[in-house]
């Protein structure tokens, strides 16, 4: 079993790296004491014999971490366990600003000064930094770039596809707060004003047939499909778990529903993680 240990300076992004690795399908455990790591690996090999990679987060909050870590890594490697050590760091002023923003005390600051805690931790972890197979400086690194760097560290990781959500809604009840892209279909002809279509919804063929007679509706559908096909690989590359495309009309009963239904039909063969939701039809 390959072991990836994520450690480094507090506030440098260890939790973000663990989350990125977990999103790819790895099992990730945080705050593992050094003395429990070897029993943990033995237990994992018995309970999960097919698992080929385990990710653990370790930091200086664990007692005797700095003293025990080096000999621990040496023993594991002598036991033919591949070990990657990913060390997270950032500039002092960046770490100080992050602590100031969160208003959390540094665990190594004896007098309550984050600057003092950062200095002491940097000195304490210098031997561990020397053991690192990879050093990630997050001083000027956004989350998207960090995820890409993590993916480059472990190229054999399975890629979890971004789940695409198609959502219809009515503007009169507000824009969905979780939407990544919002398209407005209120300029299209409204079946609500056709007596025979009023009690139906965009799921019904008579409504869809009526709308398909409108050139603007057909172009809207084609442009939405083209946009999603173009943007999805870029969204996937950024490492997002979900991407929500929301289409709205006035009441969320006819036009937006029909667009989402027909867009889903066009994409379902190529987009494996695709879901459809009609907010206003669900009550």
In order of 11, 59, 163, 261, the CA distances from 258 in angstroms are 47, 52, 21, 5
Distance CA 138, CA 124 (A): 19
What's 142's DSSP letter?
Answer: -
Which residues is 277 bridged to in the sheet? 167
Q: Beta-carbon neighbour count of residue 147 at 10 Å?
A: 22
Fill in the DSSP letter of residue 158.
Answer: P
pLDDT value at residue 210 = 97
How far apart CA 257 and CA 243 sit, in angstroms, is: 18
Nearest to 54 by CA among 74, 76, 75: 76
Residue with tokens 């998207």: 144
Give the three-state DSSP class for 198. coil
What is the rounded CA–CA span in Å between residue 107 and residue 110?
8
User: Would you give the distance in Å from CA 127 to the centre of its chain?
Assistant: 32
Q: What is the pLDDT of residue 1?
A: 76
Give all domains of the chain, ordered by start, each with its CATH number: 2-153 (3.40.50.300), 163-278 (no CATH)
- Looking at residue 239, its pLDDT comes to 66
- The secondary structure of residue 159, as a DSSP letter, is P
Task: Write out the chain's pLDDT in tens, 283 residues.
Answer: 789 999 999 889 899 899 888 877 788 899 898 889 999 888 888 877 766 788 999 988 877 888 899 999 999 988 888 999 999 999 988 988 888 777 777 787 766 678 888 888 999 999 999 999 999 999 988 877 887 788 777 765 555 578 899 999 999 999 999 899 999 999 999 999 999 999 999 999 999 999 999 999 999 999 999 999 999 888 887 767 789 999 999 999 999 999 999 999 999 888 878 999 999 998 6
């Amino acid at each position: 079993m390959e072991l990836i240990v994520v450690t480094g300076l507090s506030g440098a992004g260890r939790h973000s790296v663990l989350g990125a690795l977990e999103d790819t399908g790895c099992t990730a455990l945080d705050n593992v004491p050094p003395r429990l790591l070897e029993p943990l690996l033995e237990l994992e090999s018995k309970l999960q014999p097919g698992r080929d990679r385990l990710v653990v987060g370790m930091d200086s909050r664990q007692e005797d971490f700095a003293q025990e870590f080096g000999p621990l890594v040496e023993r594991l490697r002598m036991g033919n366990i591949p070990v990657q050590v990913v060390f997270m760091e950032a500039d002092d002023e960046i770490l100080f600003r992050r602590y100031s923003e969160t208003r959390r005390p540094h665990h190594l600051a004896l007098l309550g000064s984050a600057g003092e805690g950062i200095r002491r931790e940097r000195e304490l972890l210098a031997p561990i930094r020397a053991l690192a197979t990879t050093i990630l400086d997050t001083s000027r690194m956004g989350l998207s770039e960090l995820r890409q760097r993590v993916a480059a560290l472990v190229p054999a990781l399975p890629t979890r596809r971004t789940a695409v959500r198609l959502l219809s809604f009515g503007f009169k009840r507000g824009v969905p707060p979780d939407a990544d892209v919002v398209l407005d279909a209120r300029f299209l002809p409204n079946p609500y004003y056709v007596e025979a279509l009023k009690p139906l919804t965009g799921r019904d063929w008579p409504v869809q047939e009526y709308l398909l007679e409108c050139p603007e509706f057909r172009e809207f559908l084609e442009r939405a499909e083209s946009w999603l096909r173009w943007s999805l690989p870029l969204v996937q590359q950024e490492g997002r778990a979900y991407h929500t495309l929301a289409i709205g009309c006035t009441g969320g009963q006819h036009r937006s529903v029909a667009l989402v239904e027909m867009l889903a039909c066009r994409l379902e063969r190529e987009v494996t993680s695709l879901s459809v939701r009609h907010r206003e039809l669900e009550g």
